[in-house]
Chains A and B, each alone.
Chain A
Amino acid sequence: MSNDTAPPIIVEVREFKARIVDANERLKELDAYINECKQKKGSYQSINTLNKDLELDIGNLKDFLNTLPNEIQHMMASLEEMRVGSEPDETADYFTKKQ
C-alpha cells in the first residue's frame, strides 16, 4: 500500500520509525567517534607525560655533558700539578702521595 492510499496514521508511524533508525545510526557513529577521541586523548596524554619526562632527562643529560668534562679537565690539571710536584726526590711536596 502506497502512502497515497495508506491511512495517514500508518504512514506517520512508518516515517517516525525511519527517523528513529536514522537517529540511532548517527548516535552509533557519534559513540564510535567519542570512543576514538577518548583513545586519542589517552594516547596524547601518555605521549605528553613521556615527552615531559624525556625532556627532563635530556635536560639532565645535557647539564651533565656540559659540566662534568670540564670538571674532569680541572681535576686532571690539579693532579698533573701534584704529579710534577712529586718529583724529583723525597723532598718534593707530593712525594709521599706518589708512594
Chain B
Amino acid sequence: MNNLKDVQKKIHEVDGEFMKKQEDVANLKAETLKTKAVDKLEKIARDYKVEKEAVQEILAKASTCRETVDYIKNEMDECDIPHTITLRADEVEKFAEKLERISQDFQELKKNDSEDSSSDTKATIRKLTDEIVRKLSGFEDEKADFIEFQKTTLEQYLPKDFSDIKNAPIILQVREHKLKIQDANRRLNELEDFLKQGKAQKSSLLKIDASNKSLVANLNSLSKMINEVPKEIDEL
C-alpha cells in the first residue's frame, strides 16, 4: 500500500513536469510556424532536441512507475480470493452439518414420551418445541441462502475475475458472506444451548411428574390404610 502511495506521488510529479513540457513544445511549434530565418530555424531544431530529451527523461520516470505497479500487481495476483471462497464453502458445509445435528437432537425432544405427564408439563414442552421449530425454520432459510450465494455468485467467478484490477468488490462480497456465516453460527450455538436446556428441562419435568405420581399413589395407600387400620383394631 505504501509503495503504491509512493508511486502516486511520483505520478503527480511526472504529471506536473509533463504539463510544463507540453506547454514548451506548443510554444516551439508556434515559433516554428512564424520563423523563416535559417539560423533561427536551426536554433529551434536544437531546442526541439533538448525538449525531446527532457520528455524522454519524464517517460523513463513513468516507465519506472509502471514497472513498480506491475510488480505489485503481480505480487497481489488473485489476492487469495479462490482460497477464501473455498474457506467459505467449508464454513457453509460445517454450518449445514451442525444444523442437521441440532435438528436430529430436536427430534428427540419432540418424541411423544410425555403422554402421561401433567398438563403443565405438556404445555411447557409444547411451548419449548414450538419455539425451537420457529428458530430452526429461520436457520434452514439461512442455510439455503448461504448455499445459493456460494454456488451462484462466489463459485461463478473465473480466475480472470480474481486477477482483475477491479477485484475489490469480490473480496468485500466474500468477507460479508463470512460475517453472515459467523453470525448464523453464533446464533446456532445459542440454539444448541437452548435445546440442551430444553432437553434437560423436559427430563426433569418428566422425572418430577413420575415422582409426583408415585407420591400421590403412596399417599392414597397411606390414606386408605389410615382409614382401614382403626376399623381392623376395633374388630380385634
Contact = CB atoms under 8 A, between A and B. Distances in A.
Interface of A: 36, 39-40, 43-44, 46-47, 50-51, 53-54, 57-58, 60-61, 64-65, 68-69, 71-72, 74-85, 93-94, 97
A3 B103 CA distance: 140
B171 A39 contact: no
11 contacts: A43-B42, A43-B45, A51-B48, A60-B62, A75-B4, A75-B73, A76-B5, A77-B168, A78-B168, A79-B1, A82-B79
Closest 3 CB pairs of A and B: A43-B41, A81-B171, A77-B168
Contacts of B55: 54, 57-58, 61
B84 A93 contact: yes
Contacts of B73: 71, 75
Interface of B: 1, 4-5, 7-8, 11, 14-15, 18, 21-22, 25, 29, 32, 36, 38, 41-42, 44-45, 48-49, 51-52, 55-56, 58-59, 62, 65-66, 69, 72-73, 76, 79-80, 84, 87, 165-168, 171-172, 174-175, 178
A79 B3 CA distance: 12
Nearest to B73: A75
A23 to B, nearest CB: 26
A76 to B, nearest CB: 6
A54 B48 contact: yes
A97 B115 CA distance: 59
A81 B173 CA distance: 10
Contacts of A58: 18, 21-22, 25, 55
Contact of A54 (B14, B52, B167, B175): B52
A81 B32 CA distance: 53
Given A47-B41, A64-B66, A75-B72, A93 B80 contact: yes
